[in-house]
Structure 1
Amino acid sequence: MDPQVTLQKAIGLFRQGLQFQALEWLAKLLEIQPDSGKAWELKGLIEDSLSWQHVSIHSLETATTLIPLSTSGQYVLAKNYLEIGKTALGGSVFGILLQRDDIPDRLLPAIAAYLSRYPDFTYLALSAFRKSVKQDPECGDSLLGMAYFMEKLKYPYPQIAGVLRKAVSLDPDNRHYRMALSNVLVQSGLMEEAWQTVREISQSELKQIQCASCLNKLIHIFSEAEDHSRRDYCLSLLSQLSTTETSSTSRLPPDRISQSL
C-alpha cells in the first residue's frame, strides 16, 4: 500500500462527502504508518465534519506532535476547543492562527463569523477582518466587517466612519456600505453628511431593503434634511413591508449588519 496514494484516496472520498469511507482508508494508512501527521490531521477534519468534537480534537492534537497544522486544521482545533468549553485554550489557538501569513482569504470571514458568537473574543474577530483588509485592501465587505466589530468594541465614531468612507469609495453603489456609514454619521451628529451619503442610494436599491429599522433610520435622515420625496418613498416602502412581512430567517442579512452600526 502506497501511503501517499491512500491519503489521496481518503481526501477524494472526503471531498465527495463520503466521510465514513474516507475514515476507513485512513485507518488502513495509520495501521502501517501511525506517525503520518497528514493522515491524523485529515482524520480530525473529517471527524469535525461529523460533529465528533472530542475525537477530532484528539486526532488534531496528535497531528500537532507530528507536523505543523494547516490553517484549516488549526481553525477546526480552536473551534472545537471552544465548542467543548475550553475557552481559554480555544482563544489562544485562534490568536496563534491569526498571526499566520498563509490564511486563505476565504477562511478569514469564517473565523470572524464564528468568533462573533463569543463576546469575549470580539477583539479576535476584529483581528480577522483587519488581516482580511491587509490581504485585500480593496475588499469592501472586509471593511464593513471591520467597522462592525470596531463598533462592538466601542471604537471612536470618527475611526469607524473613516473605515466605512473607504468602503463607500470602493463601491459607491453598495447600499449596505452607505447605510452603515450614515448610521455612524448620525451617531456623530453629522446629519448633513449622513444625508449626502444616503441620498445617493437609488430607488431600486431602496426597494430591496427588507428591514423596518433600516427604513426608519432613512426616514429620520430624510426628514431632518427636509428631503420630502425620499422620505415619502421610504414611508411607502415601510408601509408595504409591514403588510407583507413574514417570519424572519435564521440568516443575518447585510441590511441587519448595516442596522447594527
Structure 2
Amino acid sequence: MNDSLSFAHLEFEAGRFSHAIQFAQYVLAQEPEDVDALTLLGMASLCICEVNEGIDALERAALIRPLPRAVQIELAIAYGSAGRRLLSKDLLMTVATSGKVNSSELLRIAAGLEAIDYPRLAMEACRQAGILNPEQPEVHYQMGYYAEQCGHPAEICESLIRHAIGLDPRNIHFRIGLASLLIRLSRQTDAIEVLAAVIPERLDDVNCQCCLKRIANLFFDADDVQRARLCAARLKTLADQTSLPAENHFA
C-alpha cells in the first residue's frame, strides 16, 4: 500500500472524510483502477452525503473486483438515497439471502429496506439477525421500530424495545426511542421515567437535535427544570458546533 492510500485509510478511520477523499483522488490520478482507492473514495463520499460521487466510485470498483459485503450494502443503500429504489431493494435482498451475512450486516440491510419503504422486509431481515445473535440488543430495538412501521400493536413494539433496554440498560438511544413511542401514546409520565434513569449521565451521547428538543419539552412540561435546562444546554452545544467552519470539525 502506498503512502497516499495509507493516509487515506487513516483519515477515513478518523472521520476526516474530505481529507480521505483527497488522498484517494491523488492515488487514482496515478492509478485510475486502484480498487482500494476507488472503494475508499466511494465510502468516504457517501459519508459526506455525496451520493452520486460515491455510487460512481463504488460501481467502478465493482467492475474490477467484487465488493466486500459491507460495501455492497452501503452501495445498495446509496441507490435508495438516489431514488433508485428497486435496484436498492434487489441488491439488499441479494446480499441478505446469500447465506454469508452476519447479524450486524442484516441489521444494516434492514435499515436500508426500511429507508425505501419496505418495513416488512426490514422486519424479516431483523428477525434473521435475531436468529444469528439473539442477545444483540440492537436486534430487539430495531424489531420494535419496524413492528410499529408495520402496524403491529403498540404493546408488542413497547415490549420489544423494553427487552432491548433490559439487555443494554445504559443505552440512551434505546430509551429515547421508547420514550418517543410512549409520548405518541400520551404516556408522558412513563416516558419521563424511562429517560430520567440515564439523564444527565448519558446526555453527551445524544447528537440528534430533534431528540433533544423533544426531551427538553417533555421535562419542561413535567416541571423538571434542571433536566430540561441540561437538555437545552446540550442542544446549544450541538448547534454551535454545526455553525463552525468545516475545517474546525476535524480539529
- TM-score range for the pair, normalised by the shorter chain length: 0.5 to 0.7
Look up the match of 1:144: 141
Look up the match of 1:32: none
| Distance in structure 2 (CA, Å) of the matches to 1:49 and 1:244 | 30
1:210 aligns with 2:199: no
* 1:185 pairs with one of 171, 177, 182: 182
Look up the match of 1:115: 113
Give yes or no for contact 1:191–1:221 (8 Å, CA) kept in 2.
yes
Look up the match of 2:21: none
Alignment of 1:63-74 (within 5 A): none
Q: Where does structure 1 lack aligned partners over 5 or more consecutive residues? A: 1-17, 23-47, 61-71, 250-261
| Distance in structure 2 (CA, Å) of the matches to 1:102 and 1:235 | 45
When residues 244 and 110 of structure 1 are mapped into structure 2, their CA distance, relative to the original with a 3 A threshold, is closer
1:173 aligns with 2:184: no
Structure exhibiting the larger radius of gyration computed from Cα positions: 1
| Distance in structure 1 (CA, Å) of the matches to 2:119 and 2:125 | 10
1:164 aligns with 2:172: no
1:233 aligns with 2:230: yes
- What's the offset of the Cα at 1:155? 3.0
Give yes or no for contact 1:94–1:124 (8 Å, CA) kept in 2.
no
Match for 1:127: what amino acid?
E
- TM-score norm. by structure 1 comes to 0.56
Give yes or no for contact 2:102–2:129 (8 Å, CA) kept in 1.
no
Q: Where does structure 2 lack aligned partners over 5 or more consecutive residues? A: 1-30, 36-55, 247-251
Give yes or no for contact 1:215–1:238 (8 Å, CA) kept in 2.
yes
SS at match of 1:155: coil
When residues 117 and 228 of structure 1 are mapped into structure 2, their CA distance, relative to the original with a 3 A threshold, is closer
Match for 1:51: what amino acid?
E
Match for 2:149: what amino acid?
K
- What's the offset of the Cα at 1:173? 0.6
Q: CA-to-partner distance for each residue in 1:200-253, whole Å, 9 max, x for gaps? A: 114242133222211111112212332222112212223333333348x9xxxx
When residues 95 and 243 of structure 1 are mapped into structure 2, their CA distance, relative to the original with a 3 A threshold, is closer
| CA RMSD between the two structures | 4.1
SS at match of 2:202: helix
| Distance in structure 2 (CA, Å) of the matches to 1:131 and 1:164 | 17
Give yes or no for contact 2:92–2:112 (8 Å, CA) kept in 1.
no
Look up the match of 2:59: 51
Give yes or no for contact 2:129–2:139 (8 Å, CA) kept in 1.
yes
| Distance in structure 1 (CA, Å) of the matches to 2:191 and 2:85 | 40
When residues 203 and 112 of structure 1 are mapped into structure 2, their CA distance, relative to the original with a 3 A threshold, is same
| Distance in structure 2 (CA, Å) of the matches to 1:212 and 1:143 | 25
Match for 1:216: what amino acid?
K
Give yes or no for contact 1:108–1:128 (8 Å, CA) kept in 2.
yes
- TM-score norm. by structure 2 comes to 0.58
Q: What fraction of aligned residue pairs are identical, expressed as a percent?
A: 22
Match for 2:113: what amino acid?
L
Give yes or no for contact 1:98–1:128 (8 Å, CA) kept in 2.
yes
Look up the match of 1:195: 192
Q: CA-to-partner distance for each residue in 1:4-52, whole Å, 9 max, x for gaps? A: xxxxxxxxxxxxxx9x799xxxxxxxxxxxxxxxxxxxxxxxxx99516
Look up the match of 1:36: none
* 1:223 pairs with one of 215, 220, 227: 220
When residues 206 and 102 of structure 1 are mapped into structure 2, their CA distance, relative to the original with a 3 A threshold, is same
| Distance in structure 1 (CA, Å) of the matches to 2:62 and 2:238 | 46
| Distance in structure 2 (CA, Å) of the matches to 1:138 and 1:110 | 17
Give yes or no for contact 1:98–1:127 (8 Å, CA) kept in 2.
no
